[in-house]
């Protein structure tokens, strides 16, 4: 690498006088400075090598020699200016691993070291340091889980000279991740104490339950026990039955959620249902959907094992299905079950009036909940 240096040459002589005859250019070597016969006071040098204490060698002009008025002692100082950092990129990073930095400035030399520092925190030493030029360095810093905030960056050249860019890197926390909640459901009759598990929770985090069309249920008595555990309470009084998203938001505004991770139920099973014509049935071309096919939509106030049966006007059951508790069709909140219009006898249901009955199954016994009817007219 090329180096820009300031060279100071001090020459001592002992009583003999000399005249100035010319100036010339010299190269520097590690050889001793020898006596000569010529004289001169103005000299420029070309740097060959990097070690301190280099001695003046022979001149480029072989006809020019050092006069006897000089002592055989030449003091040569090599002054290298301190490094200075003007900028870095990027200027912010998330503490979820290593960050690659480009450091810009001047007076950088091979062998330079870098570190990040913040008051009250252990220094972070750079790795993979590459000095591309006197003005550019690239390196890595492992900032996994370090304290957020502004960190200063310092460069130190091999000679001990250093330079610092204060508050250069803004280290930020990664967003929280929500992995689970215990318990997973509760009735809408009061407060429920929960424990939320996940990663990257920090002090000051908020917790809430969220459901489309409903106001958020904000957690109270929140305690961030660790980066992986939060405890709090949710007031479920009178809240809508069904599945709610579990959300955690750190104090820096970053948040994470567990989709439909918590379920609100009512102590008494309630069902609201309606029947409509399905617009599509898997495996059936649109023009071949039987006229009797039905989309049975209903909302449960709690999880339950559900049985749905279809009857004719004569009371003959022509189709039946059972939906396990907690599954689609048996979960608190909205459910949708489609009958394709094919009877249990593999025939297409004809025109007429049909009754749809919804039951709750408890210990193998069915309890009647709801009945609806609809008519089918063939065109």
Note the pLDDT of residue 71: 41
- In the chain, the percentage of residues whose pLDDT exceeds 90 is 60
Same domain? For 62 and 93 the reply is no
Could you write out the DSSP letters of every residue in 256-306? EEEEEEEEEE-SS--EEEEEE--S-BTTB-GGG--TT-EEEEEEESS--EE
Q: Is the pLDDT of residue 16 over 70?
A: no
DSSP strand pairing (305-312 vs 317-323): antiparallel
Of 218, 243, 265, the one marking the end of a domain is: 265
Note the pLDDT of residue 37: 39
Of the candidate ranges 31-35, 101-105, 113-117, the one whose mean pLDDT is the lowest: 31-35
Note the pLDDT of residue 15: 36
Q: Is the pLDDT of residue 323 over 80?
A: yes
Cβ-contact 169, 95 below 8 angstroms: no
Sheet containing 365-376: which strands, arranged edge to edge? 317-323, 305-312, 352-362, 365-376
Domain presence at residue 162 = yes
Same domain? For 245 and 288 the reply is no
Q: What is the mean pLDDT of residues 31-43?
A: 40
The tens digit of pLDDT for each residue in 213-261 reads 999 999 999 999 999 999 999 999 999 989 999 999 998 889 999 999 9
Q: What is the mean pLDDT of residues 266-293?
A: 84
Domain presence at residue 159 = yes
3-class state of residue 317 by DSSP: strand
Cβ-contact 114, 163 below 8 angstroms: no
Q: Is the pLDDT of residue 126 over 60?
A: yes
Q: What is the mean pLDDT of residues 134-160?
A: 96
Q: Could you identify the residue written with the tokens 């200016």? A: 81
Q: Could you identify the residue written with the tokens 């009084």? A: 237
Same domain? For 275 and 372 the reply is yes
Note the pLDDT of residue 80: 67
Calculate the alpha carbon distances from 197 to 184, 244, 306, 369 in Å: 12, 16, 31, 37
- Position with higher pLDDT, 24 vs 163: 163
Domains in the chain: how many in total?
4
Same domain? For 233 and 302 the reply is no
Q: Is the pLDDT of residue 162 over 80?
A: yes
pLDDT band at 185 (very low <50, low <70, confident <90, very high): very high
pLDDT band at 199 (very low <50, low <70, confident <90, very high): very high
Q: What is the mean pLDDT of residues 85-111?
A: 96
Domain presence at residue 252 = yes
Same domain? For 316 and 331 the reply is yes
State the residue range of the domain holding 155.
Answer: 84-172
Q: What is the mean pLDDT of residues 186-204?
A: 95
Of 211, 239, 265, the one marking the end of a domain is: 265
Same domain? For 202 and 234 the reply is yes
Domain presence at residue 1 = no
| Measured distance CA(179)–CA(121) in Å, rounded | 30
Of the candidate ranges 36-40, 135-139, 187-191, 357-361, the one whose mean pLDDT is the lowest: 36-40
Domain presence at residue 231 = yes
Note the pLDDT of residue 192: 98
Domain presence at residue 74 = yes
* Residues ≥6 apart with Cβ < 8 Å to 351: 291, 376, 377, 378
Note the pLDDT of residue 36: 40
Q: 120: domain CATH number?
A: 2.60.40.10
Which of 42-51, 72-81, 325-334: highest mean pLDDT? 325-334
Note the pLDDT of residue 379: 52
| Measured distance CA(335)–CA(273) in Å, rounded | 9
3-class state of residue 32 by DSSP: coil
DSSP strand pairing (185-187 vs 255-265): parallel
Write down how long the chain is: 379
**Residue 37: how many CB atoms within 10 A of its CB?**
11
Same domain? For 29 and 96 the reply is no
Of the candidate ranges 116-120, 135-139, 283-287, 375-379, the one whose mean pLDDT is the lowest: 375-379
Same domain? For 181 and 226 the reply is yes
Same domain? For 363 and 278 the reply is yes
Which of 39-53, 120-134, 358-372: highest mean pLDDT? 120-134
Same domain? For 111 and 17 the reply is no
Q: 311: domain CATH number?
A: 2.60.40.4070
Of 130, 151, 172, the one marking the end of a domain is: 172
Same domain? For 275 and 260 the reply is no
Chain-centroid distance, C-alpha 100: 15
| Measured distance CA(322)–CA(299) in Å, rounded | 16
């Amino acid at each position: 690498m090329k180096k820009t240096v300031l060279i100071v040459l001090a020459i001592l002589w002992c009583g003999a006088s000399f005249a100035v005859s010319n100036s010339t250019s010299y190269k520097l070597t590690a050889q001793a400075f020898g006596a000569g016969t010529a004289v001169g006071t103005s000299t420029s040098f070309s740097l060959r090598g990097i070690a301190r204490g280099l001695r003046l060698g022979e001149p480029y002009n072989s006809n020019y020699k050092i006069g006897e008025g000089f002592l055989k002692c030449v003091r040569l100082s090599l002054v290298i200016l301190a490094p200075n950092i003007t900028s870095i990129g990027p200027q912010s990073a998330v503490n979820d691993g290593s960050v690659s930095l480009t450091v810009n400035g001047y007076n950088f030399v091979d062998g330079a070291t870098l570190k990040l520092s913040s008051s009250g925190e252990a220094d972070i030493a750079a790795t993979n340091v590459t000095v591309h030029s006197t003005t550019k360095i690239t390196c890595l810093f492992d900032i996994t889980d370090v304290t957020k905030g502004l960190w200063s960056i310092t460069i130190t050249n091999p000679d001990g000279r250093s330079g610092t860019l204060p508050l250069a890197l803004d280290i930020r926390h990664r967003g929280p991740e929500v992995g689970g909640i215990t318990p997973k459901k509760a009735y809408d009759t009061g407060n429920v104490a929960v424990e939320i598990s996940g990663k990257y929770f920090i002090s000051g985090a908020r917790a809430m339950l969220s459901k489309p069309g409903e106001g958020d249920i904000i957690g109270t008595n929140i305690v961030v026990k660790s980066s992986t555990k939060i405890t709090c309470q949710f007031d479920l009084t009178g809240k809508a039955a069904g599945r709610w998203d579990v959300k955690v938001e750190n104090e820096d505004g970053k948040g994470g959620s567990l989709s439909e991770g918590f379920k609100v139920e009512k102590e008494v099973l309630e069902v609201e249902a309606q029947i409509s014509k399905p617009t599509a049935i898997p495996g059936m071309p649109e023009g071949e959907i039987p006229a009797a096919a039905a989309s049975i939509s209903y909302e449960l106030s709690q999880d339950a094992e559900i049985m749905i049966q279809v009857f004719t006007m004569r009371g003959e059951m022509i189709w039946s299905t059972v939906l396990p508790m907690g599954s689609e069709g048996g979960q608190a909140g909205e459910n949708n079950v489609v009958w394709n219009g094919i009877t249990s006898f593999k025939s297409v249901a004809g025109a007429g009036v049909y009754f749809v009955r919804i039951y709750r199954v408890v210990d193998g016994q069915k309890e009647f909940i709801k009945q609806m009817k609809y008519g089918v007219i063939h065109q």
